[in-house]
Amino acid sequence: MINSDFFNLSLSLQAAIAAGYLGYATAYAGYRRSHKAEDTLFISLVFSAIALLCFGAIEPCHGPVLAFGAAFVGSLISACMWRVAGRPFWCWLMATARVHREDGVHHGWDCIVQSGRGVGQVSVGLKNGRTLYLNDRTKFHGSPWDGLYLGGDGSIIMAVEEEELPNGTEEVRQGVRDEAWGTRLTYIPAGEVARVNIRMK
């Protein structure tokens, strides 16, 4: 029923709805975990309105195909502009005006993952008492994820240079990066992580 309703809409509305959601997904990638259905709906509608304007501006002169593409491009460009400049400026403005300091991010891990800050060192303490170290991330530039991936679910993928066992013994791992075979990465499920220490700049 929903599919038939959607395809019975005009092409401009189909493009606006699809492009609007794509804009929302782009603008709030990594921040959507705590969003409610109404957040998704109304934010998508904002980008849908932009897409509809683009479609209406292009369609009379260049036809529906180019207008369809323009709707998506317009929505994506506006989403990227909001993500890069609009949202940070709005949060700064509200904080400076002392209205509120709410940035819409309700989980500390999401804030770390989406911070855009450079990460130099990481140590991950596991529930079994072991601690894994990535001491110098600069060694892994050019490797997958530059040697470190912080998953939105709390999991971590990292190049482990050193490991400390529960008894205090330290083991230095050799051959983590190999020119022929690539970089050895360790996947750490979120459920195994007890604590994380991160140096950021």
For 27-36, write each residue's pLDDT tens digit.
988 788 778 8
Can you give the residue range of the structural domain that contains 186? Answer: 117-200
Last residue of a domain, one of 96, 128, 144: 96
**Most confidently predicted of 13-17, 94-98, 129-133:** 129-133
Contacts made by residues 12-16, CB under 8 angstroms, sequence distance 24+? 12/52, 12/55, 12/56, 12/59, 12/67, 12/71, 13/52, 15/51, 15/52, 15/55, 15/67, 15/68, 15/71, 15/72, 16/48, 16/49, 16/51, 16/52, 16/55, 16/71
Rounded Cα–Cα distance for residues 27 and 46 (Å): 11
Q: 3-state class of 89 per DSSP?
A: helix
Do 70 and 126 lie in one domain? The reply is no
- Domain count for the chain, please give it: 2
pLDDT band at 69 (very low <50, low <70, confident <90, very high): very high
Residue 111 lies in a domain: no
Mark whether 141 and 82 lie in a shared domain.
no
Q: Say what the pTM is.
A: 0.70
Residues 85 and 10 in one domain: yes
Q: Is residue 22 part of a domain?
A: yes
